[in-house]
Amino acid sequence: MQVSEVMNTVVKSCSPDTTVAKAGVTMFEGDCGVLPITDDTKKLLGIVTDRDITVALCTRGKRADELTVQEITSNSPVTCRVEDDLRTALRKMADAQIRRIPVVSSGGRVEGGLSINDIILHAKVRGNGLSYADVMETLKAICSHREPVTA
| Rounded CA separation 57/74 (Å) | 16
> Looking at the predicted structure, is the pLDDT value of residue 113 above 70?
yes
Number of domains in the chain: 1
The verdict on residue 138 lying in a domain is yes
The verdict on residue 96 lying in a domain is yes
Buried-exposed string 67-88: b where 16+ CB fall within 10 A, e elsewhere: bbbbebbeeebbbbbbebebee
| Rounded CA separation 13/26 (Å) | 8
Tell me the whole-structure pTM to 2 decimals: 0.82
Which CATH number is 129's domain given?
3.10.580.10
31, containing H or E segment:
none
> Looking at the predicted structure, is the pLDDT value of residue 65 above 70?
yes
Average pLDDT for 38-50: 96
Q: What residues make up the domain containing 135?
A: 3-143
Query: How high is the pLDDT of residue 120?
Result: 82
Query: How high is the pLDDT of residue 151?
Result: 58
Average pLDDT for 11-26: 97
Average pLDDT for 37-62: 96
Mean pLDDT of the chain: 89
Average pLDDT for 65-73: 96
